[in-house]
Structure 1
Amino acid sequence: MVAGLLLPPLVAAGLWYGVGDLTLQAQQSFRISWVAVGVLAATAIVLAFLAGSRLSPVASLLGGLAFTAAGVLPFAEMFTRVRLLPVDLLPGVLRSGFTTTAYSGLLAVAGVTLLVVSLFPSRWRGSARDLAEQPVAYESAWGTASPSQSPYLPPYNSPEDTTRPMYRE
């Protein structure tokens, strides 16, 4: 839950700084800002961790909602013809990166990606500790409960095997 509150603002700041500095250095002096490239690489790693890890799905859900809201604002500006983006609140490089990512649709893409990632059922499943506490018993042909597995089913290894489409050894 704490990662859901801390990581998305770090991703946003890294994305806005990296894109803004890379764009400004390329436009002003025709060179690549390697600091901006490094910040973008670190931001991509944090974003991948947020999207693909076994963190709480609320982490990617909160970040996805924030990024999607910020990514939809430019489109709402086009329809309403009212300035909705808070571009005056950010300093130069961050402002440039924010407007570039917002108007290009990159924020909306990141937001929808995080929202879709948080919808997978495997992210909302309980921990292995919770599932291990529940006893698994099968009824045998003799009418008594047997804690052993059925001889006709593949062996039950872990809770992660429950949502797999095929049995894996």
Structure 2
Amino acid sequence: MSNGARHVLGVVAGLLLTPLIAAGLWYGAGELRLTTAQEAQISWPAVGVLVAAGIVLAFLAGSRLSPVASLLGGLSFVTLGLLPLLEMMGMQLLLPPQFLLPNPLQVGYVTIGYTGLQLVLGVVLLMVSFFPSRWRSIAEPPVYSPAYSEGPSPYLPPPSGAEDATRPMYRE
């Protein structure tokens, strides 16, 4: 795969997977918090959604696809993670209104946003994308010229019958 195709797939993955991860984290955390507060039980579907979001997040962070994917995800999560912190510092209301998101998503966003977890995930994704080895393409095997042959070496003696394999050097 060429570098251009790898980075295009990285952009597509970053744009598609980042909202899925955010929605999974928000829904899982919100549903878990609401169910635990109301019924004093653990919501196993919410735990499953959190695990699935964690798996997709790990794919985004550790994929050999392209670092552009984790870069886009990291920028998104850092931006969404800074909004609640800026609001707590006295800025205007930057969070979306209460009626914009369904209740579990809104509760999950507020929970993850005000604890700073969303900011931490964004910084992790940004740092993962800065490793130089992720920007290099996979090395292709070297191509030898037609003059190369796997014949006997001119520097070694010609093979002759049973040789003493324990000797480190050829001796006459």
Q: For this structure pair, what is the TM-score category when the shorter chain's length is used for normalisation?
A: 0.7 to 0.9
Unaligned runs of at least 5 residues, structure 2:
1-10, 149-172
Identity %: 60
Say which structure is richer in helix: 1
Q: Offset at 1:80?
A: 3.0
Larger Rg: 2
- 2:25 is matched with 15
Q: Which residue of 2 aligns with 1:114?
A: 125
- Over aligned residues, Cα RMSD in angstroms? 2.1
- Residue pair 1:87, 1:99 contacting (<8 A) in 2 also: no
Q: Could you tell me which of 123, 135, 138 is aligned with 2:134?
A: 123
Instruction: Specify the code of the residue in structure 2 equivalent to 1:98.
Output: Y
Q: Which residue of 2 aligns with 1:4?
A: 14
Deviation at 1:81, TM superposition (A): 3.7
- Residues 67-78 of structure 1: matches in 2 within 5 Å? 67-78=77-88
Task: Give the number of aligned pairs.
Answer: 137
Q: How far did 1:127 drift? A: 2.8
CA distance in structure 2 between the partners assigned to 1:63 and 1:55 by the alignment: 14
- TM-score normalized by structure 1? 0.75
The TM-score normalised by the length of structure 2 is: 0.74
**Are 2:120 and 1:104 aligned?**
no
- The aligned residue for residue 3 of structure 2 is none
- The answer to whether the Cα contact below 8 Å between 1:5 and 1:62 also exists between their aligned partners in 2 is yes
Q: Distance in 2 between matches of 1:22 and 1:87?
A: 21
Gaps of at least 5 residues in structure 1 are 138-145, 147-169
For 2:55 and 2:75, the matched residues in 1 are separated by: 20
